[in-house]
A and B are shown apart, each in its own frame.
Chain A
Amino acid sequence: MKETEISKHTISVLVDNEAGVLARVIGLFSGRGYNIESLTVAEVDANSRQSRITVVTSGTPMVIEQIKAQLGRLVPVHKVSDLTLAGPSVERELALVKVIATGEKRVESLRIADIFKARAVDATNTSFIFEIIGSPEKIDAFNKLMEPLGLSEISRTGVAAISRGTIMM
C-alpha cells in the first residue's frame, strides 16, 4: 500500500468500563486530528467490567499505526485490534429509518424494505419506521433508495465488528 494512500480501518478497543474512558478515546482522536467515521461502545463483560469500543477511522498507514499506538498507551486500555488487518471480519450496523409518505410512495417503500429485509417496527397511516441491520454500505444503499420515497429521519448505531472464524482480538 502506498504511504500516502488513505484507507478505512475498523479498530476494536477493549477498555475498563470506568468513568471518562470514552472521553479519553474521543479526546485522543480530536486532540490529534484523527478522523472518526463511526464509534460504538457498550459493556461486554459485566464481571470484569470491560467495554468494547469499535471505531471506524481512516488515514494513511502511518496515521493508522499511530492511532493504534496512541490508543494502546491509554492506561485503561487492555487491547487494541485492527480488524481490517487481522483478516476477514463481520461488520454490522443497525439503523432506524423513518419514512413519511402516502399512496404509491408508501407502498414502494414497503417493497424496498422487503428486498433489504428491513422490518417495519412502527407504522401510522402516513409513516413507517424501518429497522435495518447490515453492513454500513447496505444501510447507505437502503437510505439512498428511501430518499425519494419520503425518508425523513435516520438513527444509526455505528458499526459493531468482530473477526471471522477462530481469530480473537
Chain B
Amino acid sequence: MAERIMNGAEVVLQALADQGVEVVFGYPGGAVLPLYDEIFKQNHIRHVLVRHEQAAVHAAEGYARSTGKVGCVLVTSGPGATNAVTGLTDALLDSIPIVCLTGQVPTHLIGNDAFQEADTTGITRPCTKHNYLVKESDRLARTMHEAFHVATSGRPGPVVIDLPKDILVSPAPYIEPAKVQHRTYNPQVKGDRSQIEQAVEILASAKKPVLYCGGGVINSGPQACKLLTEFTRLTGAPITLTLMGLGAYPASDKQYLGMLGMHGTYEANLAMHDCDVMVAIGARFDDRVTGNIDFFSPGSTKIQIDIDPSSINKNVAVDVGIVGDVGHVIEDMMKVWKAKQYSINQAALDAWWGEIEGWREKRCLSYIQPNDVIKPQHVIRRMHALTRDRKTFITTDVGQHQMWAAQHFGFEHPNEWMTSGGLGTMGYGLPAAMGVQVAHPDATVICFSGDASIMMNIQECATLTQYRLPVKTVILNNRYMGMVRQWQQLLHGSRYSESYSETLPDFVKLADAFGFTGLTCTKPDDLDDALQKMLDIDGPVILDVAVDDKENCFPMIPSGKPHNEMLLGHETGDAQAIDSDEGMVLV
C-alpha cells in the first residue's frame, strides 16, 4: 500500500489504533489541541479525562498492569509534561509499559522560552526508558511504532514522544507498524543453553533451595506465572515473592512462604538467609528485599534470571546470571530438569521444610483483634474473605496500609495487584484503580489507601463520577502518615514531627460532594457490614475506616540489618526503639 498523506495528528491516531490502543488517559492543552480535535472526530479510541496529569500516568499504569497491554497517556506541553514526571518515574522503576505523548511548542519556538515550553525530552530522559522529540514529519509514524516496540520489548518501561504542534498540523506520511523494524533495540529473550543447564544442575544438587521471584515473572505474562508454578511444584522448593511479584504464584499454596523483604514474613526472610541455593527469577535484589547487603544470604550459590543484563550483578554478585525472558528460561529449565530426571534430595528437602515449618510457627503476621478498635490488618483480611468469589483487583497507595495489604490479602493470580513498588509514590492508588476499572468494567476494583495518601490524588474522584467507575476506596484512617510515624517512633525517639494529620476532610461529605457514596466505620463489629455494603453499592464508594492509630507494621527488618535480625512485633516485645545511628541514615 502506498504511503498515505495525512496530517500529523491523524498519523498519531492511526498509529495508536494500529498498535491496538483502546484507551488513552489524558488532559488537553494548547499544544495538543490538534490531537484532541482528531480524537473528537473518531470513534476507535476512547479518551478518559483525568484531573491531573500525574493521575493520567498512574491510571495508564493500572490499565497496563491489569491487562498486560501498553498504557497510553496524552498530555500537553510544559506543565502537562512536568506533572507527568512522577508517573513516568514510577513506571520506570516498576517496569510498566507506557507510551506518553506530550505536546510541545512548535519547532521554530523550541528553545525560546515560549509559553508552556519545557525541555520535555531533557527532563524525562532519566525517568523514561527512552524518549523522542519528533522534529520531522516523515519520522512521526516510525517514531510512534518504535515507541511501542521499545515500551514493550525486553524490560518494559515508559516511553515519551514529544510532539511539536506544527508537526501535528503538517502533512505527514503514514507507515504501518509491520514496516518498522528497530535497528538497535532487540533484547535477548532466550537464555543461554549451557548456563541454563548449569543452573538446573546447581538447583538439583541443593539441600536448602529457595526460589525468589519478582515482578519480572508478572511482566513475562500469565503463561510465565503458570510455568513458574509448575516448576516450583516439580522441584518441591519453597518460593517467596517480592512486593512486585505478588500473584505470580498462588498465595494459598503450601510451598509459598509469603512476601520477603523489609516487611516480609519471618519464614521467607530466614529461608533467604539460610538457603544454600537461591534462584532469583525476574527480581532485582532491591534494598527493600536484601536488607544489609554485606550479610545477605551469606552461604548460598546464587542464580539470577533477568531480561535486563544490567539487573544481573548490580547489587548482589551472582554465580550464574542468565539473560532472558523468565518465561522462556523457566520453560527451558523445566525441559532440562525433566530430560535429566533431576530431583532434589528428598531427605535434605524434608529437613529444610522442617526448619521452615519451625519459622512458620512464629506466625509472624498474627494480630489480636480487640473489641473496641479496628486493627488495620483485620480490614484487609475481611475484605479478602468477602471478595474471594469475585474477580477482584487491588491497588494501594504507599505506607503501612500498602504493606498490610501485601501481607494479608492473598493473591492467587497475576495482574490483580497494583502497587507502587520501586518509587513508593503516594497518590498512586486511586488513579491506578481508575485505570484498572476502565480495563475491567465488571470487576471489583478496590483501592486500599491511607488518610494521607488518598489526599495526594483526591481530585480523581471527579473522574470516577464522570465515567461511572465503581472503584471502592478503603481508607485505613489512623490520622497519621503511618509509616513515617512508625519510623519516628522506632528511630527518632517518638518525636512525631509533622506526621499527624491535623485536619482531615470529612470523607463522607467529600464523596458526597463528588457525587457518590461515602461510608464510615469505627467499630470492629460493624466492619463486615460496612465492607459488604460498600461492595454491594453499584458505583464508586469511599469507606473511611477508623483504625488503631498506634498499630505498627511488623515483621520488620530495620534498615541496615540482615534478614535474620527481624523484629517480630508486639507479641514478642519488639516494638521498642531501635538504637542504631546507621539505621537513621538509611531510608
Contacts and interface: CB of A to CB of B under 8 A. Distances in A.
Query: Bound pair: A and B?
Result: yes
Given A73-B154, A76-B184, A23 B313 contact: no
Interface stretch (B74-82, B118-126, B204-212): B118-126
A72 B312 CA distance: 13
A69 B184 contact: no
A75 B317 contact: no
A156 interface: no
B328 interface: no
The 8 residue pairs across chains A and B that have the minimum distance between CB atoms: A69-B310, A75-B130, A69-B309, A70-B310, A75-B185, A78-B184, A31-B126, A27-B125
A62 interface: yes
Contacts of B129: 75
26 contacts: A3-B317, A19-B133, A19-B135, A20-B122, A20-B133, A23-B122, A23-B125, A24-B125, A27-B126, A62-B317, A65-B313, A66-B313, A66-B314, A69-B308, A69-B310, A69-B312, A69-B314, A70-B310, A72-B309, A73-B308, A73-B310, A75-B130, A75-B150, A75-B184, A77-B184, A78-B184
Interface residues of B, number: 22
Instruction: Give the dominant DSSP class at B's interface.
Output: loop
B41 interface: no
Contacts of A74: 130
Contacts of A16: 183-184
Contacts of A27: 125-126
A23 B129 CA distance: 14
A3 to B, nearest CB: 7
B341 to A, nearest CB: 35
A109 B254 CA distance: 80
Which of B129, B308, B310 has most A Cβ within 10 Å? B310
Interface of B: 121-122, 125-126, 129-130, 133, 135, 150, 154-155, 183-185, 187, 308-310, 312-314, 317
Given A23-B122, A23-B125, A73 B184 contact: no
Contacts of B312: 69
B197 to A, nearest CB: 23
Contacts of A20: 121-122, 125, 133
Interface in A70-99: 70, 72-78
Given A73-B154, A74-B130, A75-B184, 6 more contacts: A16-B184, A20-B125, A20-B133, A27-B126, A62-B313, A69-B312
Contacts of B126: 27, 31
Contacts of B187: 73
B126 to A, nearest CB: 5
Which of A19, A31, A66, A73 has most B Cβ within 10 Å? A73
Interface string A2-34: 010000000000001001100110010001000
A23 B126 CA distance: 10
Contacts of A31: 126
A63 to B, nearest CB: 10
A101 to B, nearest CB: 44
Nearest to B316: A62
Contacts of A69: 308-310, 312, 314
A16 to B, nearest CB: 7
Interface string A126-151: 00000000000000000000000000
A70 to B, nearest CB: 5
Contacts of B150: 75
Nearest to B135: A19
A27 B135 CA distance: 22
Contacts of B122: 20, 23
Nearest to A3: B317
A16 B397 CA distance: 40
Nearest to B130: A75
B309 A73 contact: yes
A56 to B, nearest CB: 20
A60 to B, nearest CB: 10
Contacts of A77: 184
A75 B130 CA distance: 7
Nearest to A14: B184
A53 B89 CA distance: 27
Contacts of A66: 310, 313-314
A29 B545 CA distance: 47
A27 B121 CA distance: 12
A69 to B, nearest CB: 4
B173 to A, nearest CB: 20
A69 B313 CA distance: 10
A9 to B, nearest CB: 16
Contacts of B135: 19
Nearest to A62: B313
A3 B317 CA distance: 10
Contacts of B310: 66, 69-70, 72-73
Nearest to A67: B310
B319 to A, nearest CB: 14
Nearest to A73: B310
Nearest to A78: B184
Nearest to B146: A75
Contacts of B133: 19-20
A24 B184 CA distance: 15
Nearest to A65: B313
Nearest to A18: B132
B36 to A, nearest CB: 27
Contacts of B130: 74-75
Contacts of A72: 309-310
